[in-house]
Chain A
Amino acid sequence: MSLISTLARLEAVSTGRAQPAATVRHRHLSARPLVFVPLTTAGEAGAPLGALVGTERDAPRLLVVPQPRDRDLRFAFLAELADVVLPYIDSYAEDVEAAERGETDPETGKRVKVEVELCADAPQLIVPSRTGVDFVRLLGRSMRFRRTAEQDPETPYPAPPRVPLLGRWLTHYGERARVPGSSLLLAMTDVLSRHWATGQSSLEDQHLGALLAWIAPPEGMTGAEAALHAELARDPRGQLLCPPAGPATDPAFDNKLLAPAFERYDRARTALAAAEDGLEADDRLGALTAAEREVRELVASRTRPTWEKVWAGIDLLRALPAGAHVEERWTRDRWSFTAHRDRITAGEPPQPRRDDAVTAANKLASREREQARLEAQEALDDPLVMAARRLSGEAFAGEVTDVVMAYSESKRPSPRPLVTVRTDDRPHLAERAKVYRSLDGKPQSAEFVGYEEEGAVVVLRILDKMGRGKEPEAGSVPEKGDRLCFTLFEHEQRGGPKLPDPEATPWTHGGPPGEAAAVPESADPVTAEDVL
C-alpha cells in the first residue's frame, strides 16, 4: 500500500467517512449486469443452499435447495440456475461486429489479417465478495464434467441438460476473474475498495456491509459506528441484522433457524412417502410445501439484504466517470467471451481439471502482461494513481521552462529537441533512462540527459512522434509553460517474446501434445456418498 492510500485511510478514520482512492472508475460496468448472490451449506464442498440471481434489481429470482444433501434437489437448483444464466449469456452471443485478428497463415507462415466475429458486448456477472468468485469457480468445476442422459445414457445420476454447459461458462468466468483488470466477473467488495479507502483494514473491507457503511453511512452515524453495526448487530433472536455476504452463512443462523427448518422438511417428506391413500397424501403434500416455503423464506431473508447492497454498490460505482482505458480493457473481455463462445460452438471438450504446461505458461504470461498494462493505464487515467507513482519516483510532473532545438548526428538530421522541466518530484532516473509522456493518447518517448539545480530541474531529449521532416510537426514538441507528466514506465505493454505453438514446444517444456491430450477428461466418478 502506498503512503497516499495509507493517508486516505487515516483521513477516513478522522472524518468518519470513506475517502476517494480513485477519481475515475477503473472497471467496466455493464448496463445490464447479472447479479448473483449465492449461499452454500457449511461443511460441504460446494453444496449450494440457494441464491438470488437476476438482472432486474426489483425482481431477483430466488433459487433454493430445501435439503442440500439431496442430489436431485441440488440438480434441480443447478438446472434452474442454468435457465437464468444461460439465456442471459446467449443474449450477448448473437450480437456480433466484424473485427480483424492477426493470425499466422499455416501455408506461408506469414502474419495475415483474418476477419472474425467479435461480440458487440459481453455478459457481466457481479458477486458480492471474493469468496463469491471462488464459489463461481467451484460451481463451474462441479458441473462441467457432469454427463447428461443425452450424452451418455449409461451414466448413473445423469445431470439435467445444460448443467454441464453452465459449468463451462462459470469456469470460464472464474478463470477470467484472475486476469488483472478484467471485468467479466466482478467481486463487489474488491471493486468498491479499489475506489474508496475506508477507515478499517483491508481485511475488514472484505465485509460488504461494513465497506458500504464506511462509503455511505446512514444519516447521523460515522462510518465506524455504521460498520460496527453491520458487522455485529443482532436481533433479539441472536441473528445478524446484516447477514454475511456469503456464500458462507452465519453459524447462529445455521444452528437456530436453518437446521430446524431442514428437519421439518425431512419429516414432512418422510410422512408424504408413508402416506397410504390419496387424501392423506394431499394433506401431507401441503405440509411439505409449507416446510419448503419456510426454507425459501429463510434463504430469501439472508440473501435479500446482500442483493440490495450489491446494487447500492453498483449505483455508487456508476456515479463515477469511467477511466479512459476502461473501454479498451473491456474489449479484451469481449474477445475472451467471444473466444469461449466459439470454443463451445466448435464442440471442444470442457476445460481440463489441470492446465497443461503450455496453457499454464501462456496464462501466466498474459496475467503478468495484463497486470503491467493495468498499472500503467490506471496511472494514466487517474491523477490520484499517478500521484502514488510520482511519490515513489516512477513518474514526475512539472512545467517546461525551456526548449532548445537540437538535431541528431546522422546523415539526415532528425529533430531531437532538448526540453527542460522544473519539477517538485524526485524521479529515480538512471543515465540515459527513457521516459514517456502521453501525446494525443500515444506515448512519446524522451531520454534523460541530466539534472540541474540539485535535481529540481530535469533535462530531457525528445526522441520520437515528431514526424519525418527536418522540422518537427506542430504540437509534437512541448512548449515553454506547458505542464507535463512523464513516466518512467512504458504506457503500452509489449510483452515478452511470443511462446511457440504447442506443436513446436519441446517436450522438456510440456509439448508437443501427445496422446494424453487426445483423451477427453472423464467425468467425476459418482458414488452413492457423493455430496455434489
Chain B
Amino acid sequence: MPLPRTRGKALRQRLAELRGPDVPAKALDARALAALAANPGCRRRAILDGAGVDKTALAGALGSPSAFGQSQFALTRGNAFEAKVKADGGAELLRLVHEKLDRRAEPPADAAVPDLSAIGPEGRTARTALALREATEAPGTWTLLDHPMLALDVAGSPAFLEPDAVVVHPDGSWTVVEIKSFPMLDGSADPAKVGAAARQAAVYVLALEEVAARLTQSGAPAPEVRHRVLLVCPKDFSNLPTASAVDVRKQRAVTGRQLARLTRIEDIADTLPEGTCFSPDLPAAELTAAVESVPATYAPECLSACELAFHCRARSREAGAVTTLGRSIRAELGGLTTTEDVLSAAHGESGDPEDPAVAALRRAAQLRAEALGLEVTPCP
C-alpha cells in the first residue's frame, strides 16, 4: 500500500533514493526506450530505467551478469564511419538528405552547423531548442545539428536523447538522421537491424515533435517533423556512405502508444515498500528481495534487449512459467500458466475435461504418446 508520507516527496528524490546514495543516474537512451516500448508490461524494467539504475551493474550484483558488450572493433568502425559521414561540415550528409528526401529544395551549400555545446543535459537541450528555433526562422538555408540533445517525458520523468544528427531543411521542416555501421548491400540491409534503427529514430521523432509543439506557443504554425528519416550506412563492402529514406510512421505510432501506456513510474514507485533500494553495493539477498518487489513480465525476447534478462529468466524458470518458452505458447494453453499445470492436465491428473484447452492438451498428449510408441495414458 502506498504510504502517505512518500506521496508528498518529489519524484526525483524518490527515484534517487531507489538508485541508492551517491549513485549517478544512468541516462535513458533511445535504444533503451525502444526496447522498453517493446515490452510495456514490464514494471521492473520501467522503474529501473526510470530511476536511472545501472542495470548492468545490478545484474552483476544479483549474480546473473548480462551478456551485453560491444567489441572495440565495432565501436572504432562505427565512430570512424560517423566521422567520415559528418566530415567537411556535413557536406556529404546534407547531399544525401537532399538527394533522398528533398530534391526540390536548393542543393545544400554553406550549411549552418551551430555549436550545441553547453553544460549538462538540460543546458544542451535548451541550446538545441534555441538552435532549432533559429534554424527554422531562417528559411532558405540548410542547418545541420550535430549530436543535439532532446528531452522526452517518459512515464513521468525526463529522458535525454542524443540523435546522431538532425537536419533543418530550407522549408523549415526537420529530419532525423541515423548513422549506422551495418552495410547496405546491393541496396538492402539486414531487416532486423533496420527495424531497430527505425524504432530508435521514431523515439527521436516523438521527442522533436514535443520541441516543435513548444516552439509554436508564440503563435506561428508548428515546424514539421518529417516522418521519413534518413538511414545512412556504408555501401556494400566499402566505407563510402549511402543512404535510404525510412518511413517511421508506423514505429512512431506504436512507440508513442506504448510510451503513453507505460505505467507511470510514480505509481510503481508508490507500490514499493519504504526503503527499497537498487544500489549494486547492497548484499545480493537484499537486492534480490528489492528486485522481486516489482513484478516483471519475462519473455525470451528480453534476452536480446534487457540486461536483467538472465535474472528474470532464472526466476521465471523457477516459477515454471510457460512464457519462458515463448510468448506464443501461452496462446494455446488457455488458463494454464505453469509447466506443472499443463503437464498434469495433459496426463489427465488435473483440469476440467470440459475446458477446450485441457481437452486439446489431452488429445495432443495421447497422439504424441501413440506416435512415439509410448504407453498411452488413458483419459478419464
Contact = CB atoms under 8 A, between A and B. Distances in A.
Q: Do A and B come from one complex?
A: yes
A530 B300 CA distance: 38
A10 B325 contact: yes
Given A9-B325, A384-B368, A529 B76 contact: no
Contacts of A524: 236-238
Contacts of B333: 6
A249 B332 contact: no
A7 B364 contact: yes
Given A10-B342, A141-B185, A3 B73 contact: no
A46 interface: yes
A320 to B, nearest CB: 13
B185 A14 contact: no
20 contacts: A3-B360, A7-B365, A10-B325, A13-B317, A23-B371, A43-B74, A44-B73, A141-B186, A142-B237, A200-B300, A204-B303, A251-B72, A255-B69, A255-B71, A255-B72, A384-B368, A387-B364, A525-B238, A530-B239, A531-B237
Given A10-B342, A43-B78, A43-B181, A386 B371 contact: yes
Contacts of B332: 3, 6
B325 A13 contact: yes
A383 B368 CA distance: 9
B142 interface: no
Contact of B237 (A1, A46, A251, A259): A46
Interface residues of A, number: 57
Nearest to B370: A387
A43 B238 contact: no
A498 interface: no
B325 A42 contact: no
A195 interface: no
Interface string A187-231: 000000000000111111000000000000000000010000001
A314 interface: no
B250 interface: no
A13 B339 contact: yes
Nearest to A41: B73
B13 interface: no
A201 B237 contact: no
B372 A23 contact: yes
A7 B361 contact: yes
B60 to A, nearest CB: 12
A439 interface: no
Interface string A348-361: 00000110000000
Contacts of B367: 4, 387-388, 390-391
Given A527-B238, A532-B237, A231 B343 contact: no
Interface in A346-403: 353-354, 382-384, 386-388, 390-391
Nearest to A532: B237
Given A7-B346, A202-B300, A388-B367, 18 more contacts: A1-B326, A6-B329, A7-B364, A9-B325, A9-B329, A13-B339, A14-B343, A43-B78, A45-B182, A45-B183, A141-B186, A200-B325, A203-B300, A204-B300, A251-B71, A383-B370, A387-B364, A531-B239
A259 B364 contact: no
B33 to A, nearest CB: 22
B105 interface: no
Contact of B301 (A45, A203, A387): A203
B182 A259 contact: no
Interface string B258-271: 00000000000000
A530 B238 contact: yes
Contacts of A249: 71
A497 B340 CA distance: 50
Nearest to A352: B186
Given A13-B339, A204-B303, A254-B71, A6 B185 contact: no
Contacts of B70: 251
Interface in B63-87: 64-65, 67, 69-78
Interface of A: 1-4, 6-11, 13-14, 20, 23, 41-46, 138, 141-142, 199-204, 224, 231-232, 249-252, 254-255, 258-259, 353-354, 382-384, 386-388, 390-391, 524-525, 527, 529-532
Contacts of B303: 203-204
Given A6-B329, A13-B339, A529 B73 contact: no
Contact of B325 (A4, A6, A44, A391): A6
A386 B368 CA distance: 10
- Number of chain B interface residues as a range: 35 or more
A232 B300 CA distance: 16
A258 B72 CA distance: 10
A383 B366 CA distance: 13
B130 interface: no
Contacts of B182: 45
A6 B324 CA distance: 12
Contacts of B237: 45-46, 142, 524, 530-532
B167 interface: no
Contact of A232 (B67, B239, B320, B340): B67
A231 B67 contact: yes
Nearest to A234: B65
Contacts of B371: 23, 382-384, 386-387
B322 interface: yes
B217 interface: no
Contacts of B326: 1, 201-203
Contacts of B72: 251, 254-255, 259
A215 to B, nearest CB: 16
Interface in B320-370: 320, 322, 324-326, 328-329, 332-333, 339-340, 342-343, 346, 360-361, 363-365, 367-368, 370
Contact of A42 (B71, B234, B239): B71
A387 B368 contact: yes
- B240, B320, B372: which has the most chain A beta carbons within 10 Å? B372
A30 B320 CA distance: 40
Interface string B143-165: 00000000000000000000000
Output the residue of A45, A204, A384 with the most chain B CB within 10 A. A45
Given A7-B361, A42-B74, A529 B238 contact: yes
Shortest Cβ-Cβ A-B pairs, 7 listed: A43-B74, A251-B69, A43-B77, A42-B71, A45-B183, A201-B300, A254-B71
Contacts of A382: 371
Contact of B368 (A7, A45, A46, A201): A7
Nearest to B329: A6
B370 A11 contact: no
Nearest to B185: A141
Given A232-B67, A353-B186, A387-B368, A43 B339 contact: no
Contacts of B75: 43
Interface in B277-320: 300-301, 303-304, 310, 317, 320
Nearest to A201: B300
A200 B310 CA distance: 13
B240 A45 contact: no
A28 B238 CA distance: 38
Given A10-B343, A43-B78, A4 B301 contact: no
A6 B365 CA distance: 10
A43 B76 contact: yes
Given A4-B368, A391-B363, A531-B237, A11 B300 contact: no
Nearest to A47: B237
A260 to B, nearest CB: 11
Contacts of B363: 391
Contacts of B364: 2-4, 7, 387, 391
Contacts of A4: 364, 367-368
Contacts of B310: 232
A355 to B, nearest CB: 11
